[in-house]
Structure 1
Amino acid sequence: MQEHYIYGASVQGIQGYIFETGKLKEIAGASEIVEQICTDYFEGFLKNECQIRGQITLIRKAAGNIRLICDKADAEKIVKYFPKSIQENFPGLSISQALVKYTGQLTNQEMDLLEKKLNFQRNKPIRPYLTGISAAIRAPRTGRIAYKRNDDKELIDRASWEKLQKGTDEAHHRLTKKFLDENKGRFPFDFSEIIHPGCKWLAVIHADGNNLGKILQSLGKSLKNYPGHVADGYREFSECLDRATTKAAKTAFEKTFQKSKEKVFPFRPIILGGDDFTVVCRADMAIEFTQYFLEEFEKETKEHFKGLVQGYSLEDFQDGLTACAGIAFIKESYPFHYGYHLAEELCAQAKKASKKIPGIPSSLAFHKILSSFYDDYEETKKRELTASPKDNQDKPIHFDFGPYAINKNTSLPCIQDLRDCVKTLEKKDAPKSGLRRWLSEIHHSELQAKELIQRVAQIAKSKEDFQVHEFDESIKKLGANLSLGNPMTNENKTPLFDILTLLSWEGEQ
């Protein structure tokens, strides 16, 4: 019986590679390199460097992962030359790879063994391709061997140089083509092109699908009843998920950004593969975009998974998948990798909250970094999002009201209700300064803060443009006992901090 091999490769340290720099052009170039490694570059490698002659069956080629079936001779070539090719052409990146031999038909047992081997390989240290001697000149930003000077005459290493070249060649970007039609504007190359005088903040958005492990387990069990279709099943799942995520991202982008008719869109995709999605955009458009994306992700996965559900009896997923997102609001000059790390943590917070609810609804969490120092979100909550007034230190007040669900039929507060509250406060006579004073006073005295907010509510009733009852109706949807004069729930949580965060972009205009 003929022997076959299933080959797996995973790009290691993708986040570290992309986000090690704070320059958007290099970030864009790094993300494009990661995108091409599993697609155009790998296809060219098989054809030109390996000169593959046998039949290759690709199972997956997205999000830094490659899975394929080949014969022994081709497997030996790929294993021998692919890591070397990656390190020669893209220094700073490395891959882990594994092989599993099988005869007859591919089964889940071989697929599971391949993943175990890959996990083992990821934990093995890989020797850097470019080390250099101690006397070599180093690039100041990275500490690696200097290779060339950039346009600012700064010495940079080879990896940074490759990122710059890819970042400049926008016309051939696979990521760009997923969003933009030809001659329909472009994405920015610098963070200064994203902000404008009305909003000087950036938003780093990271989204991730829910229940992906569960659907893969269900698919694996189901494929036991379909011998000979294991490779087809996993390939179809990977392609459907990738198409659904891409379509959801493109639709959300069109709804949020293309209506502005700007030549340089305040938006830059960074990672888009599988269910993993990371972008940076202007802060005042982030909530709207994320809300659209999560809604479209549910819709598109439901549509694209129809064939999988019917073909492999996956009725549990006939409604598609949900997703969660984290949004970190940062200043242009703030270290970008901290913003990404916070976005990941916020996404994890949203997932944790959603998993407590049947159906695991889509949700999002956000935070605006106000201090110059950031360690982790849990410490930030204690330091910035908790007030312990002197007259009631036993019952601290919490400003982290989220995460927020996309749909209203969950126990989580709804993001649209929060946006409605913000909208009522955009009017000229809205008591924005009074609410800010309350947030400041609550740190010192709960009693004085209560008297202050009641005065604010009383004065607001005399304003012509601002309608107190409209605000009360909106905020009551976030919590039954909430109102302008009583902005805290029975659990001592308030949505005012989040409301004023989203309102702050309007305040800069």
Structure 2
Amino acid sequence: MTEYVLTAIDTTRIQDYIFGSNRLAENIGGSELVEMATHQWVYEALPPNNNVDAATVTLDSSRTIDTLNAEVLYTGGGNTVILFKTFDLARAFASRLTRRVLREAPGLELVIAHHRFDWARDSLAQVVSTTLGVDLARKKQNRAFSTPLLGLGVTVPCASTGLVASRIVEKKPVSLEIRAKSSKSVQNQSLARLREKLPKIQQGDWEIPRDFDDLGRIKGEESYIAVVHADGNGIGKRVEAIANRYYEPQQNRAYIKAIRTFSQSLERAATRALISVVDLMADAFIADPELAGHHRQRFPLRPIVFGGDDVTFICHARYGLSLAVRYLEAFEKATQGEPAFDGKPAYACAGIAIVKTHYPFARAYRLSEQLCRSAKQMLKQEKIEGSAVDWHVAMSGITGSLEAIRQREYSVKQGLLHMRPLLLRDSNVSWRTWPVFKTLLDEFIREDGEWFDRRNKAKALREALRQGQDAVRDFLSTYQLDALPKVGTINVADYEKTGWAGDRCIYFDAIEIMDLFTDVQRIVSEFVTADGV
């Protein structure tokens, strides 16, 4: 009998840990600590004689558990899975890792589960599935919830967390958790990882933002930011399919190779997609020095969570939609070229929350998550395989769920004012697609068009759309217009004279976002064309 121990590591309440602060540097620090705790510190806590190549910090597939004390199977999807030769080695590893997390990342909670199994008789795929889906879930449910001591005697609360402050930093009381997130070493490591993964972000002499106010606010404009959250579709099903394909004990090594290849392929694809986003923004700054000047040479984009299919970045509000669409397009293309995807693209959804700069960041992030789920739900309901995007502009405070907000703010007698969520690409199933929306939006914002710089006219149309089809006909008559802008792919009779396709408004979204949209791709394309490249 060859008995090994499978150890699975997961984090809990990760969103609260990363996004619970209204200070960007603390969000960045929280994200970096999570990255360190699930990668670097894991590798450093392993016993000697493991499969992590110290020089490249990658997994050496030629070294396997039969000659090692520990073999890391994969890291991804928020989990780390490791094989240990003995239970004592696994327990000692868990002790080293958790002690370090307690010391260097206060407030971050890890859950670790161990599972003994027989390599020759048990299916590793089933053991991994049970450990992740049952053992870790049970530990999360049954763990003793942390109840921080809020202070004895005379204490001062942390300005960010409300916990007991342990020190005054820059005239603000901060807790141990915030001290760790804000430490110079963690901030510098985050910046170094950003520059390593996304090299073009430092090509120009631009300031990389460390505060929400540094996201390139343009003088004379209201200050809005976009919180973009993107997530791969059906990743869990792909992992499950790999497990089902290598279900027999004699396929254990083949399973390891397959799941590791998938995890690495997914990480590379997501990283390439984010590189494409950063490159596009950098190319726009290079193409239009005046644009960079408007932003006072501050790069208006900062990734917060990256390295897997779950990506979150923030940017100046005007670029949120354009950059989110670029990410989805690049993710599809990158996955198509990865071996684990057999030449077929994987898909993803993105949610974009556009909020005022000092809006509570945790709420803005939760809204972006809801929007991403909304896009996924639309794909599921319509039984469409593809990518999708959804967004919301919060001009004021947000109360209630996304569904409640839209019922309250976008539901009128005629139907729903919004056409969101949108499919990323043209479809035979639905006219609610990004190309359709973008064509309409271009009509409202192009400088040589009849709608450009005529805000009163656009505002009047918006109010007419709220009142229904008859009001739109009256609007056309009043402004002596034959019709509203047309899109050839909308196969609905008279929509350009009524503004509606059944119970869905066609034009409202474009009018609402026209002041908060810049086509980054067009800036770059026009520069390339003018330069003759």
Which residue number corresponds to residue 485 of structure 2?
472
**Offset, 1:224:** 2.6
**Offset, 1:176:** 4.2
Whether 1:345 and 2:370 are equivalent positions in the alignment is yes
Which residue number corresponds to residue 293 of structure 1?
327
Whether 1:146 and 2:178 are equivalent positions in the alignment is no
* 3-state DSSP of counterpart to 2:349: strand
Which residue number corresponds to residue 93 of structure 1?
108
* 3-state DSSP of counterpart to 2:420: coil
Is the deviation greater in 430-439 or in 217-226? Answer: 430-439
Which residue number corresponds to residue 303 of structure 1?
337
For the residues of structure 2 that align with 1:479 and 1:265, how far apart are their CA atoms? Answer: 41
**Offset, 1:359:** 4.9
Which residue number corresponds to residue 95 of structure 2?
80
Which residue number corresponds to residue 14 of structure 2?
14
Instruction: Identify the match of residue 164 of structure 1 among 174, 182, 189.
Output: 182
| Letter of the structure 1 residue corresponding to residue 498 of structure 2 | N
For the residues of structure 2 that align with 1:233 and 1:173, how far apart are their CA atoms? Answer: 31
Query: Residues 326-341 of structure 1: matches in 2 within 5 Å?
Result: 326-341=351-366
Query: Residues 42-441 of structure 1: matches in 2 within 5 Å?
Result: 42-46=42-46, 55-72=69-86, 73-105=88-120, 107-115=124-132, 116-128=134-146, 131=149, 133-135=151-153, 136-151=155-170, 153-165=171-183, 168-169=187-188, 172-181=191-200, 183-184=202-203, 185-194=206-215, 195-197=217-219, 200-224=223-247, 226-261=251-286, 262=292, 263-304=297-338, 306=339, 308=340, 318-388=343-413, 396-412=414-430, 413-426=432-445, 427=447, 429-430=450-451, 432-441=455-464
* 3-state DSSP of counterpart to 1:374: coil
Which residue number corresponds to residue 34 of structure 1?
34
For the residues of structure 2 that align with 1:402 and 1:171, how far apart are their CA atoms? Answer: 35
Give CA-to-partner distance per residue, 1:40-78, whole Å, 9 cap, x none.
Answer: 222223369x9x995321112245321111122310202
Which residue number corresponds to residue 455 of structure 1?
478
**Offset, 1:210:** 1.0
CA gap 1:249/1:12 in 2 versus in 1, 3 angstroms: same
CA gap 1:9/1:186 in 2 versus in 1, 3 angstroms: farther
**Offset, 1:482:** 5.5
Instruction: Identify the match of residue 494 of structure 1 among 470, 482, 505.
Output: 505
For the residues of structure 1 that align with 2:28 and 2:207, how far apart are their CA atoms? Answer: 13
* 3-state DSSP of counterpart to 1:216: helix
Contact 2:200 2:278 survives alignment (8 Å): no
**Offset, 1:350:** 0.6
* 3-state DSSP of counterpart to 2:497: coil
Tell me the TM-score normalised to structure 1 length. 0.86
Give CA-to-partner distance per residue, 1:244-281, whole Å, 9 cap, x none.
Answer: 11111111221234331355321111112432111111
Contact 2:399 2:405 survives alignment (8 Å): yes
Contact 2:69 2:84 survives alignment (8 Å): yes
Contact 1:326 1:346 survives alignment (8 Å): yes
For the residues of structure 2 that align with 1:386 and 1:155, how far apart are their CA atoms? Answer: 45
Give CA-to-partner distance per residue, 1:319-364, whole Å, 9 cap, x none.
Answer: 1311111111101011111111111111111111112345511110
Q: Which structure 1 segments of 5+ residues have no match?
A: 310-316, 389-395, 462-467
**Offset, 1:181:** 4.8
Is the deviation greater in 359-368 or in 180-189? Answer: 180-189
For the residues of structure 2 that align with 1:422 and 1:181, how far apart are their CA atoms? Answer: 30
Q: Which structure 2 segments of 5+ residues have no match?
A: 53-66, 287-291, 519-533
* 3-state DSSP of counterpart to 2:345: coil
Contact 2:198 2:278 survives alignment (8 Å): yes
**Offset, 1:479:** 5.4
* 3-state DSSP of counterpart to 1:356: helix
**Offset, 1:495:** 2.8
CA gap 1:90/1:375 in 2 versus in 1, 3 angstroms: same
CA gap 1:257/1:454 in 2 versus in 1, 3 angstroms: farther
**Offset, 1:504:** 1.4
* 3-state DSSP of counterpart to 1:68: strand
Tell me the TM-score normalised to structure 2 length. 0.82
Contact 1:179 1:250 survives alignment (8 Å): yes
Give CA-to-partner distance per residue, 1:393-442, whole Å, 9 cap, x none.
Answer: xxx43112121111113423221221222222223631542232232345
For the residues of structure 1 that align with 2:273 and 2:80, how far apart are their CA atoms? Answer: 23
For the residues of structure 1 that align with 2:201 and 2:284, how far apart are their CA atoms? Answer: 17
For the residues of structure 1 that align with 2:361 and 2:494, how far apart are their CA atoms? Answer: 36
Which residue number corresponds to residue 312 of structure 1?
none
CA gap 1:134/1:477 in 2 versus in 1, 3 angstroms: farther
CA gap 1:214/1:54 in 2 versus in 1, 3 angstroms: closer
Contact 1:210 1:360 survives alignment (8 Å): no
Contact 1:34 1:64 survives alignment (8 Å): no
Which residue number corresponds to residue 393 of structure 1?
none
For the residues of structure 2 that align with 1:180 and 1:164, how far apart are their CA atoms? Answer: 24
For the residues of structure 1 that align with 2:427 and 2:467, how far apart are their CA atoms? Answer: 37
* 3-state DSSP of counterpart to 2:303: strand
Give CA-to-partner distance per residue, 1:431-460, whole Å, 9 cap, x none.
Answer: 54223223234556764454124423x2x5
Contact 2:8 2:114 survives alignment (8 Å): yes
Q: What is the CA RMSD across the aligned residues, in angstroms?
A: 2.7
Contact 2:495 2:501 survives alignment (8 Å): no
Q: Would you say how many aligned residue pairs link Structure 1 and Structure 2?
A: 476
CA gap 1:130/1:506 in 2 versus in 1, 3 angstroms: closer
For the residues of structure 2 that align with 1:222 and 1:506, how far apart are their CA atoms? Answer: 45
For the residues of structure 1 that align with 2:104 and 2:147, how far apart are their CA atoms? Answer: 10
* 3-state DSSP of counterpart to 1:242: helix
